[in-house]
Amino acid sequence: MANQPAGETERHKATVRDEFTRQAPVYAAAPIITDAERLARLVGAIEPGADDRALEVATGPGHVAMALAARCREVVGIDLTPAPLEIARRLSRERGIANVRFELGEADRLGFADGEFNLVVCRFAFHHFENPEAILAEMRRVCAAGGAIAIEDLFASEHPGRADRYNHCERLRDSSHTRALAPTELIAMTARAGLEVERLYSMSARAEVEPWLAAARTPPDKAASSASSSARSRSSAASCERRKARRRINVWRAARAGRARRNTAAAPCAGRSDRFRNR
C-alpha cells in the first residue's frame, strides 16, 4: 500500500535472530522476564476476558502469552526467532497450558486477518523495531474494533542527549536494540495509529550491571575491552553500564488503547508526573 509505513529490513531481522538465538536460554530464565508479579501487573492492566482471543507479538519465550492464557479463551504468540519459540512451546507443554500456541511470524506483516483478535500485546520488543510505527499499524489491523492493544517497553529520557547516550549503551549491550522512545514519542505514535490511550503508567527497576549483561549474553570481548578502555572512553559499554547501575531503567506501559472503548466508563489516561521529569 502506498501510504503504509516501511517495515523492518532483512538485515535487521537477521541481527534480531542472531541476538535472540544466542540469548534465548538465559533470557528465558532472567528474573526480570519471568517475575510473576510483573506479569500479573501487565495482565491486570490488559483486563483480559474469558472469551478473549489474544495475540502476543514478539513473544520470545512466551511468558506473557502463558500468563494471558490463564485468563483468555485462546492466545497466539508469534516471534521472528525460532530458538525462544522452542522454549515457549516446551514451557507451555510442561505447564499443561492447552490454549496457547506459538508460531514463527513477523511483526510488520502479521499473518492474520483484520480484527482477528480482541487483545494484541507486545512486551519489551518495541525498542528492537526499526519501524515501530509500521508494527503498531499491523497490531491495530489485527485488533478488532473495540479491542485493546497493550504495550510495555523501556523508555528513554525526553532529554535528547541523555536518550542518545542511553540508546548507545543499549546497542553496545545488544546489537538488535534500535531505539527506546521517549514517553511523548510513544504517546504521539499511539495517537497517529488512531488509538486512544486508556491507561498509561510507569515503573522503575534498577539494573545491576552483571545480570543485565548476562541476560543479553553480551560478548565478553565487548564487555572486557570496554572495561579496560572505560577510563579513556566515556562511550564504552562498561562506562555506560556503570552509570546505568546507578540509574533506574524505566518501563513504560500503555494498556487498553483500543479503537473504541469496550467499556465507556473506563478511567481516562492517568500517569505519574515523574515519568516526564527531565533528569
When asked if residue 136 is in the footprint of ligand SAM (CB under 6 A), the reply is no
Residue 252 vs residues 66, 81, 125, 137, 152: alpha-carbon distances, Å: 21, 24, 12, 19, 6
Which residue lies nearer to ligand SAM by CB, 108 or 198? Answer: 108
Q: Does 92 bind ligand SAM (CB under 6 A)?
A: no
- Total residues at the site for ligand SAM (CB under 6 A)? 21
Nearer to ligand SAM among residue 33 and residue 255 (C-beta): 33
Determine, following the binding rule CB under 6 A, whether residue 170 of this chain makes contact with ligand SAM.
Answer: no
Is there binding between residue 251 and ligand SAM (CB under 6 A)? no
Shortest spacing between CB 162 and ligand SAM, in angstroms: 22
Does 123 bind ligand SAM (CB under 6 A)? Our answer is: yes
Nearest residue (CB) to ligand SAM, 81 versus 218 = 81
Instruction: Determine if 198 is a binding residue for ligand SAM (CB under 6 A).
Output: no
Are the C-beta atoms of 183 and 275 separated by less than 8 Å?
A: yes
60 binding ligand SAM? (CB under 6 A): yes
Residues near 279 by Cβ (< 8 Å), separated by ≥ 6?
157, 159, 162
Q: Which is nearer to ligand SAM, 16 or 169 (CB)?
A: 16
| Rounded CA Rg of the chain | 18
- For residue 231, how many other CB atoms are within 10 A of its CB? 10
C-alpha cell at 138: 499491523
Q: Estimate the share of the chain in helix, then strand, then coil, as percent rounded to the nearest 5.
A: 45, 20, 35
Adjacent-strand bridge partners of 206: 248
Interacting residue ranges for ligand SAM, rule: CB under 6 A? 8, 16, 20, 33, 58-60, 63-64, 79-81, 84, 106-108, 123-125, 128-129
